[in-house]
Structure 1
Amino acid sequence: MYFAALLARTEDGWEASDTELDDVETLSDLADLAREAAPEDDTVLVLIEQEDAWFGVVRIDGEEDPRIYVSDAAAAARSSYGEILLTDELLGREPDDDPDLDALDLDGTEDGEDEDDDDTPATEAGVSGEIVPHGPVGDAQVLDDLGVSEKQLKSLSGDAVTEIAESLGASEVLETVR
């Protein structure tokens, strides 16, 4: 079960609206949807949560590129909504950089690579088959200037969207759309 909401910061405070992501296929679509929710070039946050498995924050400030934080990339990669947020740039990949399958041995390791390499982060294949890391990715300072520090953001679990809204002073408006 997913929950997605838009929080737009206006001069009167935060305004919330629930959002349907069924027609959103790309991060660009999501950014356009968020910009439509802001009367001016105000800050808009898109908060997405999947049943305590992962959450994502997308921040749009006017026409700037979206800033993204995802709490667990591997968990998000297993969902179509999460995959929207997991861009090549966010995951540190070159766009359209497909792994060279010819360089893989039959056991899945690269030529000359030890099978028991403990220095590599745990990874998992997502919906598209791309390998993504377990754990948080993106801009963990995305909410710093709004009162949610990097440390707080990384420590959130459970109902993270509600905790973020409480920290922003927007819990009442968020509850109206839940």
Structure 2
Amino acid sequence: MYFAALLARTEDGWEASDTDLDDVETLSDLTDLAREASVDEDVVLLFIEQEDAWFGILRIEGEDDPRIYVSDAAAAARSSYGEILIDELTGGDEDDASADLDTLDLDGTEDGESDLDDDAEDTDNDPPAGAGDHPAGPVGDREILTDLGLTEPELLAVETDAMAEIAEALGAADILETVR
């Protein structure tokens, strides 16, 4: 089950609204939803969360290209909405997603690599079923919220009830709670 919400920054603070993703099929659809919520072309954040499995943030600011962050690429890739975000980050070619992984700012721990005995046969590092070529772990713009008060390390530490934690850091927790 998904929960999606929009947070739009205004000169008076944040405005929140829940959003229906039923008609969303592409990144353009997601971007259009966010742009419709924009006030004076200020920052709009579209949050998508799937039952603590993964969350994604799409940031729109004016006519700039969207910025995207996904907490767990492998989990999101098994979701239709997550797949939209992951495809944008990997260039949309699932058969050759590994060619684009260098651009995703991965820290090396996403594929389960271990510094322990490299000579030992390790079969526990196989990706989960359905993960495809996507790494487990965060992908995208890790500084997507830095200028709004949530640093990269804080974003990477978000685990459960991601939207509430992020909204709290942005000073929008009460606003978001009204649409939950």
When normalised by structure 1's length, the TM-score is 0.80
- The question of whether the paired residues in 1 share the 8 Å contact of 2:74 and 2:132 is answered with no
Q: How does 1:6-155 map to 2 (within 5 A)?
A: 6-88=6-88, 90-91=89-90, 93=91, 95-96=92-93, 98-99=95-96, 123=127, 126=130, 130-155=132-157
| DSSP 3-state at the match of 1:41 | coil
Q: Which residue of 2 aligns with 1:5?
A: 5
Superposed CA offset, 1:3-59 (max 9, x none): 100000000100000001110111111011100011210100001111111111111
Which residue number in structure 2 is paired with residue 167 of structure 1? 169
**In the superposition, relative to structure 1, how do residues 84 and 10 fare at CA in structure 2: closer, same or farther (>3 Å)?**
same
User: Residue by residue, what CA displacement relative to the aligned partner does 1:59-107 show, whole Å, maximum 9, x if unpaired?
Assistant: 101111110000000001111111111125x13x5x54745xxxxxxxx
Q: Which has the higher helix share?
A: 2
**Partner of 2:179 in structure 1?**
177
- Measured in 2, the distance between the counterparts of 1:141 and 1:122 equals 29
| Larger-gyration structure (1/2) | 1
Local SS of the residue matching 2:59:
strand
Question: Aligned residues, how many?
Answer: 155
Q: Calculate percent identity across the aligned residue pairs.
A: 67
Is the Cα contact below 8 Å between 1:125 and 1:131 reproduced in 2? no
Which consecutive residues of structure 1, in runs of 5 or more, have no partner in the other structure? 100-115
Distance 1:5 1:144, change over 3 A: same
Separation in 2, partners of 1:10, 1:134: 35
Whole-Å separation in 1 of the counterparts to 2:76 and 2:95 = 20
Secondary structure at the residue paired with 1:132?
coil
CA distance in 2: counterparts of 1:117 and 1:36, whole angstroms = 53
SS of equivalent to 1:87: helix
Whole-Å Cα distance in 2 between the matches of residues 173 and 155 of structure 1? 22
The residue matched to 1:133 in structure 2 has which SS?
Answer: coil
- Alpha carbons of structure 1 residues 34 and 117: separation in structure 2 relative to 1, 3 Å: farther
Distance, in Å, in 2 between the alignment partners of 1:170 and 1:131 is 35
CA distance in 1, matches of 2:66, 2:164: 21
TM-score in terms of structure 2 length: 0.79
* Cα pair distance change 1:16/1:117, threshold 3 Å: farther
